[in-house]
Amino acid sequence: MFHFSQLAVVSEQTTDIVTWISIGAIALLAVVLAVTCIVGKKFSTSEIAFAGVCIASSVTLSFIKIAPVQYGGSITLARLVPPLIYAYKFGPVKGTLAGIVIGLFDFITNPYILTPMTFVLDYILAFASIGLMGFAPKFGKLPTTAKVVIGTVIVYIARFTFHLLSGFIYFAEEQVWADLPMQNMFIYSFVYQCVYLPADCAIAGISLYALAKTKALDKLFALMTRKEKTADTEQA
């Protein structure tokens, strides 16, 4: 078993490497989106603009947080609401791409990993799950309030699962707390995620419910649609 100091050194070294990888990935993703918009016309100008606004809003809100646990776990001021709205409006694929970008920015602003696998689980797959909200509009004849809440819960369940697996790696190497009384790392990781993720989910769900209930969400969607049609007209 490694000592904590050894693991910290490994994490710091790996973090430095992945920081540059993530910066390169963001640059590459920006190029891909631009080429797709110009050549493939898969993204309109307005969709890219709204993605930028939602990503910037999410990154800003991520700094308003309470951190009840060490090494990454935090309760934020509805940081996932903007990208969840984007995914709901523009679909799972575009929502997934936006989520990945947010995850990469999250790593750059607050990097901490143990292995490349924890980087993939915590910063790529966990945030890519935002794209699952893109399926929410297809939930039958349910009202929008129910759809956004159910979609939010599904996203957080997926995110919880990825963080759970990553946490198992941390606890297995005694990265979070050493000398644990028993060797059931999944239980420790489960409890660790429960300290902050359900609360973060509740804040996001309540926020989206309130926006949908007051029709503010419908007005926002209408604005997005109007801007999208205007952009398409100008391109034509």
C-alpha count within 13 angstroms, C-beta hemisphere, residue 147: 21
According to the model, what pLDDT value does residue 46 have? 80
pLDDT at 145 over 90: yes
Separate counts of helices (H) and strands (E) for the chain: 10, 2
The pLDDT, as a whole number, for residue 4 is 45
Show the tokens assigned to 228.
């999208």
CATH number at residue 46: 1.10.1760.20
Note the pLDDT of residue 177: 54
Phi, psi of 66 (to 5 degrees): -120, 130
Q: Which of 91-105, 180-194, 215-229 has the lowest mean pLDDT?
A: 180-194
Residue 162 has pLDDT above 90, yes or no: yes
Q: Which of 4-13, 29-38, 120-129 has the least mean pLDDT?
A: 4-13
Q: How many residues are given for the chain?
A: 236
Q: What is the value of pTM for the model shown?
A: 0.81
First to last CA, the chain: 63
Torsion sign, CA atoms 32, 165, 147, 53: negative
pLDDT for position 111: 72
- CA–CA distance, 160 with 157 (Å, rounded to integer): 5
Give CA–CA dist 44/236, Å, rounded. Answer: 12
pLDDT at 115 over 90: no
Domain count along the chain: 1
Amino acid letter for position 53: V
DSSP 8-state assignment for residue 66 = E
Residue 16 has pLDDT above 70, yes or no: no
Q: What percent of the chain has pLDDT over 90?
A: 37
Q: What is the pLDDT of residues 87-107, one digit of tens each?
A: 999 999 999 989 998 988 888
DSSP bridge pairs for 124: none
Q: What is the pLDDT of residue 2?
A: 42
Over residues 188-212, the pLDDT tens digits come to 788 888 889 999 999 999 999 999 9
Give me the pLDDT at residue 91, please. 92
* Residue 26 tokens, joined: 């963001």
105 CB neighbour count, 10 Å cutoff: 19
Average pLDDT over residues 61-71: 77
pLDDT band at 232 (very low <50, low <70, confident <90, very high): low
Domain residues for the domain of 205 are 4-235
- Rounded distance between C-alpha atoms, residue 95 and residue 85, angstroms: 9
Residue 43 has pLDDT above 90, yes or no: no
- State the pLDDT at residue 9: 52
Q: Which pLDDT belongs to residue 146?
A: 96
Which H or E run includes 13? helix 4-35
For residue 124, pLDDT over 60 is answered with yes
Task: Indicate the pLDDT class of residue 18, thresholds 50, 70 and 90.
Answer: low
Q: How far is CA 185 from CA 85, 112, 164, 188, in A?
A: 35, 19, 10, 5
